[in-house]
Amino acid sequence: MKRVLYDSLLKWKEKENRKPLILLGARQTGKTWILKEFGKNEYSNVVYLNCDNNPVLSSSFFDFDIHRLLRVFSALTGETIEEGRTLIILDEIQEIPLALTSLKYFQEEAPGYHVAVAGSLLGISVHNGTGFPVGKVDQLTLYPMTFKEFLMANDKNSLVKLMENHDWEKNAGFNPVFQDQLRQYYYTGGMPEVVDYYIRTQNLHETRELQKRILADYERDFSKHIPSNLLAKVKLVYGSIPAQLAKENKKFLYGAIKKGGRAKEFEDAIQWLVDAGLVYKINRLSKIQAPLKHYEILSDFKLFVSDLGLLGAMNDTTASQVLVGDTIFEEYKGAFTEQYVCQEIMALPMKPYYYSNNNSTMEIDFVIQKEKVYPLEVKAEENLRSKSLRTVVKTNDALTGIRFSMSGYRDQGWMINVPLYFAQQWINDCL
Q: Give the bridge partners for 282, in sequence order.
A: 302
DSSP 65-99: -HHHHHHHHHHHHT----TTTEEEEEESGGG-HHH
Q: In order of start, what are the domains of the chain with their CATH numbers?
A: 5-141 (3.40.50.300), 147-430 (no CATH)
401 φ, ψ (degrees, to nearest 5): -80, 145
- The one-digit pLDDT tens for each residue of the chain (431 residues) are 899 999 999 999 999 999 999 999 988 999 999 999 999 999 999 999 999 999 999 999 999 999 999 999 999 999 999 999 999 999 999 889 899 999 999 999 999 999 999 987 755 655 555 567 889 999 999 999 999 999 999 999 999 999 999 888 888 889 999 999 999 999 999 999 999 999 999 999 999 999 999 999 999 888 887 888 999 999 999 999 999 999 988 999 999 999 999 999 999 999 999 988 999 999 999 999 999 999 999 999 999 999 999 999 999 988 888 887 666 566 656 899 999 999 999 999 999 999 998 876 789 999 999 999 999 999 976 667 788 999 999 999 899 999 999 888 999 999 999 999 999 999 999 99
Decide: residue 65, CB within 10 A, 0-12 exposed, 13-18 middle, 19+ buried.
middle
Question: In a 3-state reduction of DSSP, which class is residue 378?
Answer: strand
87 close to 116: Cβ distance less than 8 angstroms: yes
DSSP class of residue 170 equals G
